[in-house]
A and B are shown apart, each in its own frame.
Chain A
Amino acid sequence: MKHTRPDDARPKSTRPRQAGRPGPANAALGAAGLAGFLALCEAVPRLGIVSEDYFPPLSRIADALVTELGDRTFWTALGDTLTGWAVGLAIAVTAGILAGVGIAVVPFLREATASTIEFLRPIPSVALIPLAVLLYGTELRSVLLLVVYASFWQVLIQVLYGVQDVDPVAEETARSYGLGTWARVRHVLWPTALPYVMTGVRLAAAVALILAVTAELVIGAPGLGARIMVAQTSQAVPEMYALVVVTGALGLVINVGARTVERRALAWHQSVRGEVAV
C-alpha cells in the first residue's frame, strides 16, 4: 500500500533540491512563454483564424475583466463561489481526517469499509447533480453536497495511506515509553500521516473549486459559475471569457496557497527539508 500514493505525494528525496526551484533563467523562460501565449491569444482572432464572435482578442477580454472588477455584483458572485468552496472543503477535510483516523485506529472498520469506499469513491460528483437539485434546489447546500462529496474522498484516501505508513520502530518506541492509544495517535500516527493529509487537502482544494463552479454553472446556484452561464446566454462573450480567466486565477492562487501551507507544516519532512549535510 505504501507505494500507491499519487506521484506528487511521494517524498522527493532522490531529486536534487534545486530541480523544483525556478532559477532566474527558468523564471525568464516562463515569463517569455506566458507572453507568447498571450500574444497568440491576441493575434489569432485579429488575423481572422477564428471568429471574433466566439473568441474575442485578448485586449477585449481584458477590457471586460476590468469592467467586471468594477462591478459590485461580480464581487458578490466571487464571494458566493469562495464560500461554497471554503465551507465545502472545510467539511470534507474535517470529515476525511476524522473518518480516516477512526478507520485506522479500529482495525475491523478498515476491513468493513474498504470495499464500500472503493465503490463510492469513483462515482463522479456531477452524477449527483440531480440528487442535489431534488434535495436543495439552487441553494448553497446543493453546491456543498457536490463539493463535499468530491473532495472528501481525496482527503480520506490520503489519510488511509498515511496511517499505513507508521514506522514499526517508531510505534514500538512509543509503546515502550508507555504512550497510550491517544498519545500514539497524536504524536506518532498524526505526524506520520500529515504529509499525506497535506497532499489530500491540496488535491481536495483544487477539486472543490472545480465542483463549486460546475455546480453553479449547471444548477444555477449563485456564484461565478452562474455568472458565466448568464454571460453565455446573453451573448456577452468577452465577459464570459473574463470570468473563465478569474476562475483559473482562483485555482492558481489556491494551489500556491496550499503549497505554502504544506511547506510550512512539513518543514521537518524529507520532501521539504531536502538532503541535510551531516
Chain B
Amino acid sequence: MHGLLSVSGLKKVYEGSGRRVEAVRDLTFTVDAGELVCLVGPSGCGKTTLLKCMAGLLTPTSGEVLLEGRPVSGPPPGMAVVFQEYGRSLFPWMRVGENVELPLKQKQLSRQRRRALVADALESVGLGDAAGAYPWQLSGGMQQRVAIARALAYEPDVLLMDEPFAAVDAQTRADLEDLVRGLWRDRGITILFVTHDIDEAVYLGERVLILSASPTVVQEQLKVDLPSERDQLHTRVDPRFAELRTRVYEQIQAAKRGVVPGA
C-alpha cells in the first residue's frame, strides 16, 4: 500500500575530495493524498538533501522515491517546489505574472488557460493586482507569496516547501502560515512542509515527521490532533498545542543526543 508520495530506504552519501559524508542514512515514510505533513529536524540533518531527492533534483545513493507509484528519476511533472530563497528563485528579469506563467508555458497550456491559472493563483495569495510588478519591487513576504502562486498555478499533486518562511519577519511569517493552511483546506493539495521551527511544524501540520541528526533516519512520527480550524491567537495557547510542541521538542533534543527511539 503506497501513499501519494512514498520514500523508502532513501540514502544519500556525498562523496568528493576524499571526504565521504552520509547526509541521509535510511529514510522511509509516506504522505497520503491531501495530507499536510511537516518535516522537522535538528539543523544540518539533511532536510534539504531529502527534499531535493524527492523533487528529483538529486539522485539518491540508494532507495527510491515514488510519486503515485512511479519512481522519481528527474523533476516530476506533478510536483512543485517552493524554495527558501524566494529572491533567487524568482527571476528578476520577468514581471510577477511572467514568473508565474513560465512553468505553464512548458506544460504547453493554451494562452487562455495560462491567463486564467495565473490570475487565479495570484488572487488566492492576495496579490491579484501585482502581476505587472517586478519581484524586486515587492517586499520579502510578497515575493514568497509570488513563489507560492507560481507553485499553485502549476497545479501540482504534491507541493514541497523547503523552509519557505525562514527568511521573513515574524508577523509576515504568521500571515504566510495561515495562507498555507487556507490554501491546503480550500484546494485539497498535498503539502510536505520542511521547517526547523517546532511551533510552525505543530501549528501547520496534520502530522509531524521528526528527523534524527545526521546521518538521518525518521526519529518519530506524530499525529497533530488539533482542530482543523486553527488561528494564531487561540491555537498557540491551546494546552494540546503546548503538549505537542513539548513532545516534538523532546524528540529533537533526543535526536541531537543521538538517542534512537525504542532502543
* Interface residues in chain A, defined as those with a beta carbon under 8 Å from any beta carbon in chain B: 167, 169-170, 172-173, 175-180, 183, 187-188, 191, 194, 268-270, 273, 276, 278
Contacts and interface: CB of A to CB of B under 8 A. Distances in A.
Contact of A177 (B137, B139, B140, B154): B154
Given A173-B83, A179-B103, A278-B138, A268 B75 contact: no
12 contacts: A169-B89, A172-B52, A172-B57, A172-B81, A175-B57, A176-B55, A177-B154, A178-B77, A179-B102, A183-B106, A187-B102, A191-B93
Nearest to A187: B102
Contacts of B107: 178
Shortest Cβ-Cβ A-B pairs, 10 listed: A177-B103, A169-B88, A191-B93, A176-B81, A173-B89, A268-B93, A176-B75, A169-B85, A278-B139, A167-B88
A180 B138 CA distance: 29
Contacts, number: 62
Kindly name the residue among A169, A173, A188, A268 whose own CB sees the greatest number of chain B CB atoms within 10 A: A173
Given A170-B88, A173-B81, A278-B138, 11 more contacts: A176-B81, A177-B102, A177-B103, A177-B150, A178-B75, A178-B77, A183-B106, A187-B102, A194-B93, A269-B92, A276-B137
Interface residues of B, number: 29
Interface in B63-101: 75, 77, 79-81, 83, 85, 88-89, 91-94
Kindly name the residue among A177, A179, A183, A191 whose own CB sees the greatest number of chain B CB atoms within 10 A: A177
B134 interface: yes
Contacts of A172: 52, 57, 81, 83
Contacts of A278: 137-140
B192 to A, nearest CB: 14
Contacts of B57: 172, 175-176
Nearest to B84: A169
B137 A178 contact: no
A176 to B, nearest CB: 4
Given A268-B93, A273-B136, A278-B138, A178 B103 contact: yes
A233 B89 CA distance: 63
A170 to B, nearest CB: 6
Nearest to B81: A176
A232 to B, nearest CB: 49
A247 B56 CA distance: 57
B135 to A, nearest CB: 9
Interface string B187-202: 0000000000000000
A273 B140 CA distance: 18
A165 to B, nearest CB: 12
Contacts of B75: 175-178
Contacts of A273: 136
A180 B102 CA distance: 12
A252 B142 CA distance: 43
Given A178-B103, A179-B103, A278-B137, A191 B91 contact: yes
Contact of B92 (A173, A183, A268): A268
A46 B150 CA distance: 72
B106 A179 contact: yes
A276 B81 CA distance: 27
A180 B136 CA distance: 26
Contacts of B92: 268-270
